[in-house]
Structure 1
Amino acid sequence: MRGSTMFKKMIVKTDERGLLFKKGSYVKHLQPGVHRLASFSDDEIVLLNVTKPFAVQGKDLNLFLQDEQLLKELTVVNVQDHEYVLHYEDGKFVSLLTPGKYAFWNVLKQHDFTRVDIRQPMVGAEIDEAIFSKVVGYLYASEVASHETGLLFYNNVMQQELAPGKYYFWRGPVQAAVKTVDLRHQQLDMTGQEIMTEDKVTLRLNFVCQYKIVDPLRALAFKAFEDQVYILLQLILREYVGTLKLDDLLRMKQEIAAFVLSRLNEKSEEYGVTFSSAGVKDIILPGDIKEILNTVLLAEKKAQANLITRREETASTRSLLNTAKLMDENQTLFRLKELEFLEKICEKIGTISLTGGGNLLEQLNSLLAGAKQ
């Protein structure tokens, strides 16, 4: 009985390891089994579960890494400032380790680690996307649509072009940004642009052009790219319209479009685009000019109508003259014309009364003969 009171019995289970301390200083680690300590000594055993990461509250990890026997049962990983480490136990993802030193018991589980250099923030294809939901705070995503191209920048320095898809980046010292450029055909509308013609008439133009970006990096070099294209179009229109009188402008709509498209494509390489079409949608005139043009147009149409009427009358008179000449020269034709005339008379007369002898045709002929005399 007296001997049993002189010792404290400590049991270290199979899934545990013990750390022996004397007067607060680490001595050694203890395997599973029964261990006895003097009842009145300052010895202490700290029990650790080997399924959990190795950690002793209030003690620095390096204190224990001097024990070679303990090190045989530990897997130690040191994470640098520029790294994340992905920790796997028995092939399954467990956690993401930030900079620091870590130790894990290797007696019951196999530990594997994947190092990630966050100075190159794009997540590589070797990292399984299945873990992304478990490390949300350490990742961010950018997406490039099917009709776009992406330009990848690290700390505002261009790195590469990105094809359509979804990309993930580690949060860290290097800031990644993806700028997208729409590669579809786009339309630029210029509405109500006021321009003065050579003869000092101020009008408004509605103009449209279509373009497609072919060099995304050049296009991104312009601040407010679409505004810059708009200004370019505006200057070209002012340059051309300012050399035309109003009448010429109204007559040369197609020529304006061809000129503007040609000038735009002279700048296409500089802007990283190709311009495919351009055209005038509307020319809006001031009210007083519109009234004048309407008056002129009405007068022109009346003159054209009078000309057509006179032309038709002349043609009709000429036709009658030609017919008269033919009938005068050809008695048979004249006779046929008489019979045609008689036929028309008979169609319009309901009843004909005859006196004297002879048949109807002879009497009508005698009438016509009398009319000739």
Structure 2
Amino acid sequence: MKRIHIAFNHVGFVVKNQVVQRVLTSGKYWLGFGEKLELHDKARPEFAPFVRQYKLDPAEKGLLFVDGQFKQVLEGGVYTWWKNATAIAVSKVDTRVLSIDINGQEILTKDKAQIRVNFSVRYRVLDVVRALLENKEHEKQLYMLMQLLLRTYIGHMTLDEIMEKKDDVNQFISSEAHVQAASLGLEIQFCGIKDIILPGDVRDIMNQVLIAEKRAQANIITRREETASTRSLLNTAKLMEENVMLFKLKEMEYVEKISEKISTVSLSGNGQLIDQLKQWFVKS
């Protein structure tokens, strides 16, 4: 006697005296004296009329049900079974990172402002058995979970708090969703607010507030520059009052600036050019 094992996707032919005695599917068996085993892959073309086949992509996992009973988790690959009265079913799921958008969620804030929020979630299936066997339509349950978290958190904040603390909203919802999504067999990779859409009248009011704030800031800057300029003139005046030579230099500087805008100036001799220029500008 010899103990043999036939793999899941193979079929064995027991041969004795060059005659096939029996056909064995996957499992463990004993071979009798003088019996030999020939193994064949069920995927061979000549077996096609007698087998049923199911394919899982490399990024997919599946649950195998035989006669309505869960048997095992299937990895990516090709699986074949004999065509018989046994009921075979496979539920599959994509294990790659997926995304779901929660758009147009109308939420009433703490200060009674009606806003619409667009939210995005990235996740992946971590526990296939929990996602497919213990929960029905885990995608819809995740969608509802994110809706409730958004409404619960944002509903306790004012509009100004929401606009100023978007990162806090994302962080809170992400941490809460990570814990609750585990019961669905899911892992939250990232979630966050994409857009906050305000009603038209609220948007107009906020624009007016923004314009008023910018004007106030501009006025402050203008006043600051005027104060600095006045202070500079005062310091210059004090210096000129104490130093006659500096006063004369400043006077000549202004004469030079005025002269640049005059095409022709006629002066007589007598060696008092500066006094003549001074009298001429005073008359002008």
TM-score (norm 1): 0.62
Q: State how far apart, in whole Å, the 1-side matches of 2:191 and 2:43 are.
A: 50
In the alignment, which residue of structure 2 is the partner of 1:46?
none
Kindly state the Cα deviation for residue 335 of structure 1 after the two structures are TM-superposed: 4.0
Residues 118 and 174, structure 1, Cα contact 8 Å, conserved in 2? no
Kindly state the Cα deviation for residue 205 of structure 1 after the two structures are TM-superposed: 0.7
Q: Closer, same or farther in 2 for the Cα pair 1:168/1:323, shift >3 Å? A: farther
Please list, as runs of the form range in 1=range in 2, the aligned pairs for 1:358-373 lying within 5 A after superposition. 358=271, 363-364=273-274, 367-368=277-278
Residue deviations 1:265-315 (CA, integer Å, cap 9, x gap): 121321222212111111112222223323333333333333332232222
In the alignment, which residue of structure 2 is the partner of 1:171?
83
Matched, 1:137 2:49: yes
In the alignment, which residue of structure 2 is the partner of 1:148?
60
Q: State how far apart, in whole Å, the 1-side matches of 2:51 and 2:243 are.
A: 108
Please list, as runs of the form range in 1=range in 2, the aligned pairs for 1:195-206 lying within 5 A after superposition. 195-206=107-118
Which structure has more RCO (C-alpha within 8 Å, separation ≥ 6)?
Answer: 2
Q: Closer, same or farther in 2 for the Cα pair 1:156/1:326, shift >3 Å? A: farther
In the alignment, which residue of structure 1 is the partner of 2:211?
298
Q: State how far apart, in whole Å, the 2-side matches of 1:184 and 1:325 are.
A: 78
AA in 2 matched with 1:268: A
Residues 118 and 170, structure 1, Cα contact 8 Å, conserved in 2? no
Residues 87 and 111, structure 1, Cα contact 8 Å, conserved in 2? no
In the alignment, which residue of structure 1 is the partner of 2:178?
265
Residues 12 and 40, structure 2, Cα contact 8 Å, conserved in 1? no
In the alignment, which residue of structure 1 is the partner of 2:23?
115
Q: Closer, same or farther in 2 for the Cα pair 1:371/1:352, shift >3 Å? A: closer
Residues 188 and 210, structure 1, Cα contact 8 Å, conserved in 2? yes
Q: State how far apart, in whole Å, the 1-side matches of 2:196 and 2:62 are.
A: 39
Q: Closer, same or farther in 2 for the Cα pair 1:130/1:237, shift >3 Å? A: closer
AA in 1 matched with 2:202: I
Determine which of 168, 173, 188 is the counterpart of 1:275. Answer: 188
AA in 2 matched with 1:364: I
Q: Closer, same or farther in 2 for the Cα pair 1:333/1:111, shift >3 Å? A: farther
In the alignment, which residue of structure 1 is the partner of 2:97?
185
Q: State how far apart, in whole Å, the 2-side matches of 1:218 and 1:294 are.
A: 49
Residue deviations 1:158-211 (CA, integer Å, cap 9, x gap): 222222221112222322222222111111111001111112222111111211
Kindly state the Cα deviation for residue 370 of structure 1 after the two structures are TM-superposed: 9.6
Q: Closer, same or farther in 2 for the Cα pair 1:365/1:142, shift >3 Å? A: farther
Gap regions ≥5 residues in structure 1: 1-84, 90-105, 121-125
Determine which of 225, 236, 245 is the counterpart of 1:312. Answer: 225
AA in 1 matched with 2:159: L
Residues 257 and 278, structure 1, Cα contact 8 Å, conserved in 2? yes
Matched, 1:228 2:151: no
* Identity value in percent: 43
Kindly state the Cα deviation for residue 260 of structure 1 after the two structures are TM-superposed: 0.4
Kindly state the Cα deviation for residue 240 of structure 1 after the two structures are TM-superposed: 0.6
Q: In angstroms, what is the RMSD of aligned CA positions?
A: 3.0
AA in 2 matched with 1:137: P
Q: Closer, same or farther in 2 for the Cα pair 1:162/1:330, shift >3 Å? A: farther
Report the secondary structure of 2:156's partner residue.
coil
AA in 2 matched with 1:158: F
Q: State how far apart, in whole Å, the 2-side matches of 1:86 and 1:274 are.
A: 42
Please list, as runs of the form range in 1=range in 2, the aligned pairs for 1:6-25 lying within 5 A after superposition. none
AA in 1 matched with 2:231: R
With 332-341 and 231-240 compared, the bigger mean Cα shift is at: 332-341
Q: State how far apart, in whole Å, the 1-side matches of 2:20 and 2:97 are.
A: 50
Report the secondary structure of 1:257's partner residue.
helix
Q: State how far apart, in whole Å, the 2-side matches of 1:215 and 1:250 are.
A: 36
Q: State how far apart, in whole Å, the 1-side matches of 2:235 and 2:24 are.
A: 105
AA in 2 matched with 1:338: E
Residues 119 and 172, structure 1, Cα contact 8 Å, conserved in 2? no
Determine which of 72, 77, 81 is the counterpart of 1:160. Answer: 72
Please list, as runs of the form range in 1=range in 2, the aligned pairs for 1:53-92 lying within 5 A after superposition. none
Residues 107 and 116, structure 2, Cα contact 8 Å, conserved in 1? yes
Larger Rg over CA atoms: 1
Q: State how far apart, in whole Å, the 1-side matches of 2:200 and 2:238 are.
A: 57
